Chains A and B, each alone.
Chain A
Amino acid sequence: DAGVIQSPRHEVTEMGQEVTLRCKPISGHDYLFWYRQTMMRGLELLIYFNNNVPIDDSGMPEDRFSAKMPNASFSTLKIQPSEPRDSAVYFCASSFGLVGSGNTIYFGEGSWLTVV
């Protein structure tokens, strides 16, 4: 079975450029999560969707970050303009049902972003 698919796997961009990260969740999953991983802060939940609707974006660091989920099989995380401190690994993850009901979140392989 295909897992969560993310692209690009690696991106190097210049400060000020727009970055778009893409995610395809596991088919049939109704929750989609975007996490960010850094050495300093570990894994942070940025935003999550339920049935394509954003539920909680309280973890999004600034207005430069935005996320969309136009349909059940696709989501994007956009950074505009990008800054060096945005350099991190961005993970997309999905689950079938509420984690609060004991369901498991499955992660993609991540997008390694470097902003120079």
Chain B
Amino acid sequence: AQSVAQPEDQVNVAEGNPLTVKCTYSVSGNPYLFWYVQYPNRGLQFLLKYITGDNLVKGSYGFEAEFNKSQTSFHLKKPSALVSDSALYFCAVRDPMYSGGGADGLTFGKGTHLIIQP
């Protein structure tokens, strides 16, 4: 089975400070990991993904994420937060070894509300 957890429902950060949104996963093989962002009343927008290679992945809008296999984590980070980064962030996983129901889709976490305070 494949699963992903976002332990924080909400993260509050002051504008200009670094931000981290946490994600941990559980898979039987080597995971494919994704981050998406959802602005109010909008669809999910792809930010970045880890497939293989360098553990630090850079994505859109200045975001990056670090894959840590020993800690089974894929935390989303940004060095300096903007008020416009306030949104709902989703981590998602795909286990290439998984062949159960919904195998060709992604399994999403519950989402983390990121609030950037001016």
**Residues in A lying within 8 Å of B, measured CB to CB:** 4, 31, 33, 35, 42-43, 45, 48, 50, 55-56, 58-59, 91, 93, 98-102, 104-110, 112
Residues on the B chain within 8 Å of A33, using CB:
105
User: In the complex, which of the residues B49, B94, B103 contacts A56, with contact meaning CB atoms closer than 8 Å?
Assistant: B103
Given A102-B49, A102-B51, A109-B43, check contact A48 B102 (CB 8 Å): yes
Size of the chain B interface, CB-CB below 8 angstroms: 26
Across the interface, B104 reaches (CB within 8 A) one of A35, A55, A108, A109, namely A55
A42 in complex: contacting residue of B45, B103, B106, B108, CB < 8 Å: B108
In B27-45, which residues have CB < 8 Å from any A CB?
A: 32, 34, 36, 41-45
Interface of B is mostly: loop
CA distance A14 to B2 in the complex (A): 37
CB distance from A35 to the nearest CB of B (A): 8
A65 to chain B: closest CB distance in Å?
15
- Report the Cα distance A45→B103, complex, angstroms: 10
Q: B34 contacts A104, CB within 8 Å?
A: yes
CB < 8 Å neighbour of B109 from A42, A99, A105, A107:
A42
* Residues in B neighbouring A35, C-beta threshold 8 A: 105
When distances are taken between beta carbons in the complex, the residues of chain A under 8 Å from B109 are: 42
Say yes or no: B106 contacts A99, CB within 8 Å.
yes
**With A59-B101, A104-B49, A110-B42 already in contact, 10 other A-B pairs whose C-beta atoms are closer than 8 Å:** A31-B104, A42-B111, A43-B111, A45-B105, A45-B106, A48-B105, A56-B105, A99-B105, A100-B32, A105-B106
